Amino acid sequence: MAKQREKNKKKPQEDRLDLTKMQTSSYSSNTLVFNWFEDVRALETRLKDFQRKQKNSDLKVNHTRKTFYNLFKEFPFIQKGRYVKFGQTVQIVTPFTPGPNGKLGLTLCGTVTEKDIDEYGHFSDQSLVNVSPVRRPYVKNLFKILPCKGTLQEEGDDLRYGDEFLIATTGSWSGQPLYVRSDPPSAMSPGNDLNHGVVTFTAKEDSYCRWKALFEKRDEREAMETHPIEPETRMMIKQVMTNKSLSAEPTLWYQTFFGPEADVSVHDYRTPKRTDSVNSIWMFVTQEKRDSDRNPNNEGC
């Protein structure tokens, strides 16, 4: 038994000696191990790729700066006469829809995806249309009211209630206007989170790009038909193909590249009294109103 105990005492010591032996036989800190050469080559490749992109202004930061420059160009606009005219640049504002902080008044605007930023630096076909609390006039939130093909109206004519018109961007990656459009929700073209028609830009004019304005008060609409539209007059904007209203979606806020924005859809909102909701009330603004909204990322509401 004494011999066995002696043997057991020596065993841990032998183990410690073996461990010490292993440690002394390990690689030194100066020895190159594993895929060292492959890692160096990969690092050199990434560095060359970075230098190439830097030389060609192809870095993410360059794309971001280009997008901001294109979309946040200040675009002063002034009222031209008593009525809104075809060809005129306007802001399209929903005056009573609350923003993320409760302040009323949101402006129709375009927004861009990460792909738009990387490939175009501007609006492209299928870029989304939202509403934003930013009211300062920029390319991002200014639109032109254009006559539809095959109609009698021309640029310079007064825009009247009931006239069909196009809502076009003031700029795009191609230099050609993009048109505000919406497809009815379907299996091929799903709607937003509420299954309402999503509003986007398109490069090709078609029937789903056509809109018309109706006077806000239902009992006066027939009398106001064909009457010229005055700036900042409350009205409904209807899609001609579906006869549904362009509407802000103040319950669908999300953070975009430019700050908080909410969805826009084609959907008829009604109050409990069966009147039109404030989310579907719009007006054309034809001149800038100076306010505290100086920063394009200002949440402003």
Give pLDDT tens digits for 96-154. Answer: 999 988 899 999 999 988 888 888 888 888 899 999 998 889 999 999 999 999 888 99
What does the pLDDT average to over 266-281? 85
- Is 18 a domain residue? no
Q: Is the pLDDT at 18 greater than 60, yes or no?
A: no
| pLDDT of 25 over the 60 cut | no
Average pLDDT of span 31-36: 62
Is residue 276 assigned to a domain? yes
The domain of 277 spans 60-285
pLDDT at 77: 75
pLDDT of residue 30: 61
In three state form, how does the secondary structure of the chain look?
CHHHHHHHHHHHHHHHHHHHHHHHCCCCCCCCCCCHHHHHHHHHHHHHHHHHHHHCCCCHHHHHHHHHHHHCCECCCCCCCCCCECCCEEEEEEEEEECCCCCEEEEEEECCCHHHHHHCCCCCCCCEEEEECCCCCEHHHCEEEEECCCCCCCCCCECECCCEEEEEECCCCCCCCCEEEECCCCCCCCCCCCCCEEEEEECCCCHHHCEEEEECCHHHHHHHCCCECCCCCCEEEEECCCCCEEEEEEEEEEEECCEEEEEEEECCCECCCCCECHHHCEEEECCCCCCCCCCCCCCCC
Place of tokens 């075809």: 86
Structural domains of the chain, count: 1
pLDDT of residue 32: 58
Q: Picking from 71-75, 212-216, 245-249, 284-288, which range would have the lowest pLDDT averaged per residue?
A: 71-75
Q: What does the alpha-carbon distance between residue 18 and residue 213 come to, in Å, rounded to a whole number?
A: 89
Average pLDDT over residues 173-179: 85
Quick one: which of 201, 199, 206, 203 has its CA closest to 237?
199
Tell me the pLDDT band of 33, cut-offs 50, 70 and 90.
low
User: Can you tell me the distance from the alpha carbon of 167 to that of 178, in angstroms, rounded to the nearest whole number?
Assistant: 8
Q: Give the amino acid at 27.
A: Y
Residues 6+ apart with CB under 8 A from 258: 71, 111, 132, 134, 140, 296, 297
The tens digit of pLDDT for each residue in 161-172 reads: 999 999 999 887
* pLDDT of res. 216: 92
Q: What is the CATH number of the domain that holds 273?
A: 2.80.10.50
Does residue 266 have a pLDDT over 80? yes
Residue 179 within a domain: yes
Residue 300: inside a domain: no
Task: Tell me whether residue 9 is in a domain.
Answer: no
Residue at 154 is within a domain: yes
For residues 141 and 185, which has the higher predicted lDDT (pLDDT)?
141
pLDDT of residue 299: 42
Query: What pLDDT does residue 13 have?
Result: 45
pLDDT band at residue 283 under the 50/70/90 scheme? very high
- Mean pLDDT over the full length of the chain: 82
Q: Kindly state whether residue 4 falls inside one of the protein's structural domains.
A: no
In a domain, 39, yes or no: no
